[in-house]
Chain A
Amino acid sequence: MINNRDEIIETIRMIEEENLDVRTITMGISLVDCIDNDIHKSCEKVYNKIYRYAKDLVKVGNEISKKYGIPIVNKRVSVTPISILVGVSGGDPVLYAKTLDKVAKDIGIDFIGGYSALVQKGFAPGDKELIDSIPRALNETSFVCSSVNVGSTRAGINLDAVKIMGQKVLEAAELSKDRECIAASKMVIFCNAVEDNPFMAGAFHGIGEADCVINVGVSGPGAVRAAVAKCPKDASISEIADVIKKTAFKVTRMGQLVGVEASKMLGVEFGIVDLSLAPTPAIGDSVAHILEEMGLEQCGGVGTTACLAILNDAVKKGGVMASSRVGGLSGAFIPVSEDQGMIDATKSGALCIEKLEAMTAVCSVGLDMIVIPGDTTPEVISALIADEAAIGMINSKTTAVRVIPAIGRKAGEELNFGGLLGHAPIMAIRPQSPKTFIDRGGQIPAPLNSLKN
C-alpha cells in the first residue's frame, strides 16, 4: 500500500531539504582469531580478514543509497581493541595502525576505528604500549581512529590512565600542528564506552560482540528542527516533545531499513541502530538550532540543558519503537566544530566549555570536537577528562572527551579541519592547575550506585 500525498512529500522534503541521511554503516569485525605471536603475521591476518569481510561494504552502501534515494554518508569498519592483539604479539603497535590504514584505503571506506584500549580498572599487557603509540599512529595514518576507556560506573576511574591521556592528546596535536592538529580529532577518551558504537572516532568492536555485525548510525537534526519549527510558538513543551518523538521514529525507521538491507546483502548479522542526532556543518543540520527552535535565543544560554534533556529523551522514545535492536550511543551529539549553531554560539560568547560540560550530563556523549588553546597544560586536559568521566561514572552513562589543543594559537583564533569535522573557534579553558590531584594517580573508587547486585 503506497502512502498518501503528504507522507510522500514529507519524506522527500526530509531528504532533499532537511539533510536527512544515514550517517554511517559501520561493519564491526572481530580480530580475535588474527592474534599471533609474530606481529607481522598478526598484521597480515588482520589485513586479510578485514579485506575479506568488508571489501563490498562501500559497494553495498552505494547500492542501498541508490535504491532508496537516501544518502549514506560514511562507510566504516570497527575492530577489536588493538591493545589485545599487541598484548600477545608485542612489537611496535603502529604496525597495526598502518595495516588498518592500508586496508581502509584499499576497500575505500571513510574511517576505521578500534586502535583502542580498555583500561578502566588497570593496564593489561599491551595497553600501555598501545596508548603510548596513539599520537604517532594517528599522525602517520589517515583513516585510523583511536579511543581509550578510562572509567566505568562498575570500575571507577583509572586516574593513572587519565594522566597519560592528557599528555597524549597534547602530543597528538603537537605532532600534527602543521595540519590543524588533526591527529587529536581522531582520538576519544571514554567513560562507560559502548561496544557497538558505529560513530567515529570512538567506534570499536567489543569483545562481547559476534564475529561480524552491521551497525547503523542515523542522523537528522535538520528534519527534527524543521518539524519543531512548524509548531506554533505557543505550543506546550509536551507537544514539542511529541513532535520530536514522531520525527525520531521516522528517521530511525530509515536506519533500520538500511541496516537490515545491508546485513542481508553482505550476509552479515544485523547489529543495532544507533538513535543519534549527529550534526554536520551543513546549513540546517545543527543540534544547536533545534534547541533555539524550541525557544532559546541562542544555544549556551540558561535553559539549554533543559531543552537538550527534552530533545535527547524524545529522540530515544521515538527511535526505540522504530527499531528491533537499538544500541550504540543513542542520543543527541554536541560536537562543537561540526555544528554551525554551536560554532556561532561559541563565537558570540554564549557557549562556554562549562556549559558544554553541563550539557553532557543530559545527552550523548561528551565534550566533543572542542578546540582549546595550544598552551593548555597536560594536567588541565587530564582534569577535564576526569571531570567528564566523573559525570559518566556517577550517572551510569557514556561520556567522552575529544578536545583539540590548537598548538601555537590562543583563544579567539580558529582551527579549520574541513569536511564533516568542520571548523571551530578556540574556546577558553580555566588554567588553574589541578597538577597535584592528577599526579596522585591510583583508582577513583567505583561509586555506591555500581553495587546493584
Chain B
Amino acid sequence: MKAIISVVGKDTVGILAAVATKCAEYKVNIQDVNQTIIDELFTMYMVVNLDNLTIEFTSFVDEIHKVGEEKNLKIECMHEDIFNLMHKI
C-alpha cells in the first residue's frame, strides 16, 4: 500500500528532514519526493510505501499531523486510492 504525504504552506528549513525522520521511525519507505512553488505557496509531496508500517495507518496519519503542527504547516498523509480514483476512469 502506498500513500502521499503532502506539505502545503510557507517554506521553512527542515521540513523534509522532519517528515523523513518520522517515516524512518515507523519503517515507511520514501519512494519519490517532489516539490514546487505555486502562487508563492510551497507544495511538496512524497510518495511513500507503507508495506512495513509498524503502527495502524490512522495512527501514522496522527503522527504526521503532529509534525505539521510543530512546523506550523499543513501536512497530510492520504491513501493512494483517492488519487487513483479521481484521475483514472
Please state if B61 and A254 are interface contacts (CB–CB under 8 Å): no
Please state if A70 and B82 are interface contacts (CB–CB under 8 Å): yes
Please state if B79 and A67 are interface contacts (CB–CB under 8 Å): yes
Q: A63-B58, A67-B57 are in contact. Are A11 and B86 (CB under 8 A)?
A: yes
Please state if B87 and A12 are interface contacts (CB–CB under 8 Å): no
13 A-B residue pairings within 8 Å (CB atoms) = A1-B84, A7-B83, A7-B86, A11-B87, A12-B6, A12-B45, A13-B38, A66-B62, A67-B57, A70-B82, A254-B86, A257-B81, A257-B82
Q: Tell me the B1-56 residues at the A interface (CB within 8 Å).
A: 2, 4, 6, 8, 34, 36, 38, 41, 43, 45, 47
A-B contact count, CB below 8 Å? 80
Question: A254 vs B89: C-alpha distance in the bound complex, in angstroms?
Answer: 12
Q: What distance in Å separates the Cβ of A59 from its nearest Cβ neighbour in chain B?
A: 11
Contact residue among B2, B45, B58, B87 (Cβ-Cβ distance under 8 Å from A250): B87
Q: 0/1 per residue, A50-84, Cβ < 8 Å to B?
A: 00000000000001001111100000000000000
Q: Which B residues lie within 8 Å of A230 (CB)?
A: none
Chain A facing B: main interface SS: helix
Please state if A66 and B58 are interface contacts (CB–CB under 8 Å): yes
Interface size on A, residues (CB 8 A): 26
Q: Which B residues lie within 8 Å of A9 (CB)?
A: 36, 38, 43, 45
Q: Which A residues lie within 8 Å of B86 (CB)?
A: 7, 11, 250, 253-254
Question: A15 vs B78: C-alpha distance in the bound complex, in angstroms?
Answer: 11
Please state if A12 and B8 are interface contacts (CB–CB under 8 Å): yes
Does B74 lie at the interface of the complex (its beta carbon under 8 Å from any beta carbon of A)?
A: yes
Question: A98 vs B12: C-alpha distance in the bound complex, in angstroms?
Answer: 52
Interface size on B, residues (CB 8 A): 30
Q: What distance in Å separates the Cβ of A420 from its nearest Cβ neighbour in chain B?
A: 22
Please state if A5 and B83 are interface contacts (CB–CB under 8 Å): no
Contact residue among B6, B38, B45, B58 (Cβ-Cβ distance under 8 Å from A67): B58
Q: Which A residues lie within 8 Å of B8 (CB)?
A: 12, 16-17
CB closest chain-A residue, reference B81 = A257
Q: Which A residues lie within 8 Å of B41 (CB)?
A: 17
Q: Which B residues lie within 8 Å of A1 (CB)?
A: 84
Please state if B61 and A12 are interface contacts (CB–CB under 8 Å): no
Q: What distance in Å separates the Cβ of B19 from its nearest Cβ neighbour in chain A?
A: 15
Please state if A68 and B78 are interface contacts (CB–CB under 8 Å): yes
